[in-house]
Amino acid sequence: MGRSSWKPFFIGNDFFQQYNNSILRMKEVSKTEVVQKKNKDDNLVKNVKEKITDDIIVYNRSTVIRQYMLGLKIQVYNGIRFFPIEVNPEMIGHCFGEFSPTRKKPISKKKKKKK
């Protein structure tokens, strides 16, 4: 059974905290570049998105991917390790858990020939 239609999309608090912290850090770094470019607002947003180098760590696999997350590098925890994901336009509306497998792929053993 899915989530009720009257509820908003679920996004974990840990994601927002890390996202806001990374944007604030990048704004501080890019202030000098914006001053050199004569305070163009469009360039500020582009520079901030391009320069977020820290991966955002997500523990909650049920967080829904939204449009403002495009191009971000996110690491999703699957219970054992973190899977790096770069958000594409095709991923919008899906959960992070769909892109980090929790089970190992089965490896078939080769049969030995009898002599």
56: which strand partners? 74
Residue 80, CB-side half-sphere exposure with 13 Å CA sphere:
5
Q: Which of 53, 58, 60 is nearest to 26 (CA)?
A: 53
Per-residue confidence (pLDDT) for residue 36, from 0 to 100: 47
Q: Which of 102, 47, 94, 44 is nearest to 69 (CA)?
A: 94
Per-residue confidence (pLDDT) for residue 90, from 0 to 100: 92
Whether residue 101 has pLDDT greater than 80? yes
Residues 71 and 86: beta-carbon distance below 8 Å: yes
Per-residue confidence (pLDDT) for residue 39, from 0 to 100: 47
Q: Which of 69, 95, 100, 68 is nearest to 82 (CA)?
A: 100
Whether residue 50 has pLDDT greater than 60? no
**Mind listing the domains of the chain with CATH numbers?**
13-99 (3.30.860)
DSSP letters for 33-50: HHHHTTS-HHHHHHHHHH
